[in-house]
Structure 1
């Protein structure tokens, strides 16, 4: 079995488990992960916070945007264009429109240029499978890996549920590890 086939099989199994999570579990987990995120030193230092619009029972930190704004964070969301992903400014007046993979994306013209923010940029990454040693399997498109390769000064925190944590995964040279993986304590 190739690394790619191994990742695909593991991703499929973990995502099947995630689909069965109850709404109560998801809500409790998101609250716990939100609190862990806000406790990070890199979060406290960050002026820019890149989030994602959750799909298919991903950890929902999008609901905490008012709290992140109250902490002084500028919010950016991803938008896919072909083979690339960039982040665009988001506020409550920004429309969300269906984009690639049927994911809502910001209808904004203000693209993040991390090198020009003059502050710390923290990217919160979703994913399918994680390890405690910060390996990550995404959804197979490589968008975050390519973005982070192009913007190595950005800080990263991946978020997932405890059921998405495994002991080890096979990785490829192009896989970029997040600095930290945040997950809830209850299996």
Structure 2
């Protein structure tokens, strides 16, 4: 598939997937479904929380900086990762959110309680007001909770099309956990999504139905 055909196919898929998401999560009923699923996300994220809490204890014992976790502020129809991000921040992790900063994302610390503000960047959502750590902040990360429009079981993620997250994920150390947070029906069969050379494979997804390793095909 040439690059032009690939881009066209990705855009077509984004439109289809976003339309399906909007139908499922719009209105009062959709918002209630999303809120209920956010609580199930927390339950299935317990293994991730346990890992980070262990790292927090080790860091405290060594008088080292707290582990760094990346999250994102979801749109009204995306899977709601904020309750999980708040749990991590209140446990003591350094939780960062993306912010507009040219062709690469900047990363801003969030204290777990402060309000978010509209981003000045075109096409961006909301971001916290806090210390900015720069575009290389994820080099220190232990866990990255990434947004996606969908992910398939071949580890292929389709994002919103600007390439910000693929560039950011390229800076994440191999020891870190990268987990895409999506709705249950956005985990698709293997080879459902086209992958470019620059698309970073996603090894795991978290949905309201479970935490799934796409490498081992196990769920927890």
Q: Please, what TM-score do these two structures have when normalized by structure 1?
A: 0.84
Q: Is the 8 A contact 1:37 1:43 kept in 2?
A: no
| 1:98 corresponds to 2:122 | no
Partner of 2:185: 163
Greater CA drift, 129-138 or 45-54? 45-54
Q: Kindly indicate whether structure 1 or structure 2 has the higher relative contact order, using CA contacts under 8 Å at least 6 residues apart.
A: 1
Contact 2:145 2:178 in 1 (8 A): yes
Distance 1:105 1:66 in 2: 14
Specify every segment of 5 or more residues in structure 1 that has no aligned partner in the other structure, as ranges.
Answer: none
SS at match of 1:49: strand
Give the unaligned 5+ runs of structure 2: 56-66, 211-220
**Residue equivalent to 1:178:** 202
When structure 1 is superposed on structure 2, of 35-44 and 159-168 the one drifting more is 35-44
CA shift for structure 1 position 93: 6.4
Give the alignment partner of residue 89 of structure 2, picking from 49, 69, 72.
Answer: 69
Aligned mates of 2:169, 2:6 — CA distance in 1: 21
What is the distance in 1 between the residues matched to 2:183 and 2:115? 28
| Partner residue in 1 for 2:217 | none
1:109 matched to 2:131? The reply is yes
* 1:24 Cα deviation after fit: 2.2
**Partner deviation per Cα, 1:66-125 (whole Å, 9 max, x = no partner):** 42234332211111212110211111565533212241112223316344x5xx521101
Aligned residue for 2:45, secondary structure, equals helix
Higher mean displacement: 2-11 or 92-101: 92-101
Q: Normalising by structure 2, what TM-score?
A: 0.73
Find 1:32's aligned residue among 18, 36, 40. Answer: 40
Write the distance in 1 (CA, Å) between the matches of 2:54 and 2:132: 22
- For 2:170, what is the secondary structure of its paired residue? helix
1-structure distance, mates of 2:85, 2:184: 23
The structure carrying a bigger strand percent of its residues is 1
Q: CA RMSD in A?
A: 2.4
Q: CA deviation at 1:183?
A: 1.6
